[in-house]
Amino acid sequence: MNNKTLERRIIPNKSRILKKLDLCKIFLKVNFRKIIPRPMSRIIRKPIQGWIGPDISALEVFGADGSGVTRDYAHIVSSLEIWEIDKKYENELKKKFPNAKIKITDSFKEVCETSEKFNFIVVDNGISTYGSYCEHFELFPSIFRIMEDSAILTVNIIPSVSKKMRKKWPYVFNKLHLEKRMSFYNSDHPENLTASQMIQTYEQLCKQNGFRIVHHFVMKRRFFLHFLVMHIQRISRKQILFARA
């Protein structure tokens, strides 16, 4: 067999292999979330509809370009509102979520001003400080005013970060970040908190604002980041009087 004949046989085979690889990439891109469900997909499989019913009015507090967690639950909700401060994402959000209400707004101001109420609120917050804000801390207590009487609130939490991860993300747990965590969680060790310790803060915030946490669970998202999912209910006047009796 001469070199030209061998080359003619190898090149078509190479072409077929590359085409198959491209098809595999497309398949994995489309079906990756089905093969390995993302954390938010696993959350919506939990009994959240049993907590708040089938009529889900959802709010994504920090929308960005919509490629975060919004795509994992948008298809199951009755209505969806997305807040995002950066106007450059507006067209992309409208394209990805044509049935959603997109608001280009400062979420920290909007939570204090809107008259809308929601029963599924997702706070896909940053992992450190940004501007004068830190994680999701400044959304409290105003976030309670936009909750229906029975609602699910999902926030990102960071119990702790390993030394290896802190080297990779040096802005996580910097001095300002730890100071704000110390104040919010009322802890002398803000760099190392358990989920139970963190829950106590949210329980206290709920109580101060006429709500209570009925159910909650924590689910690891990636690296040091976790979802804290809370089913929150407004405390009725009858319950308040009964508690005081």
* pLDDT at position 51: 84
Q: Are residues 14 and 95 in the same domain?
A: no
Q: Are residues 72 and 30 in the same domain?
A: no
Q: How confident is the model at residue 42 (pLDDT cuts 50, 70, 90)?
A: low
Task: With a cut of 80, say whether residue 218 has pLDDT above it.
Answer: yes
Q: Are residues 31 and 141 in the same domain?
A: no
Q: Are residues 32 and 138 in the same domain?
A: no
Q: Are 112 and 142 in contact (CB under 8 A)?
A: yes
Whole-prediction pTM value? 0.82
Could you count the other beta carbons within 10 Å of the beta carbon of residue 80? 24
Query: Distance (Å, rounded) from C-alpha 85 to C-alpha 134?
Result: 16
Percentage above 70 pLDDT, the chain: 78
Residue 33, phi-psi category: left (phi > 0), alpha (psi -120 to 50), beta (remainder): alpha
Q: Are 224 and 165 in contact (CB under 8 A)?
A: yes
HSE, side-chain direction, 13 A CA sphere, residue 101: 12
Q: Are residues 176 and 81 in the same domain?
A: yes
Q: Are residues 122 and 69 in the same domain?
A: yes
Q: Are residues 115 and 43 in the same domain?
A: yes
pLDDT digits (tens, 9 = 90+) for 105-162: 999 999 999 999 999 999 999 999 998 999 999 999 999 999 999 999 999 999 999 9
In 77-201, DSSP assigns E strands to: 79-84, 101-104, 118-123, 129-130, 133-134, 147-157
Q: Are residues 123 and 219 in the same domain?
A: yes
| 201 or 28, which is more confident | 201
Q: Are residues 32 and 81 in the same domain?
A: no
Domain of residue 187, CATH code: 3.40.50.150
Query: Distance (Å, rounded) from C-alpha 62 to C-alpha 102?
Result: 11
Q: Are residues 141 and 220 in the same domain?
A: yes
As beta bridge partners, residue 24 has none
Domain range enclosing 26: 1-36
- Give the number of domains in the chain: 2
Q: Are residues 103 and 132 in the same domain?
A: yes
Task: With a cut of 60, say whether residue 29 has pLDDT above it.
Answer: no
Q: Are residues 63 and 183 in the same domain?
A: yes
pLDDT digits (tens, 9 = 90+) for 182-217: 999 999 999 999 999 999 999 999 999 999 999 999
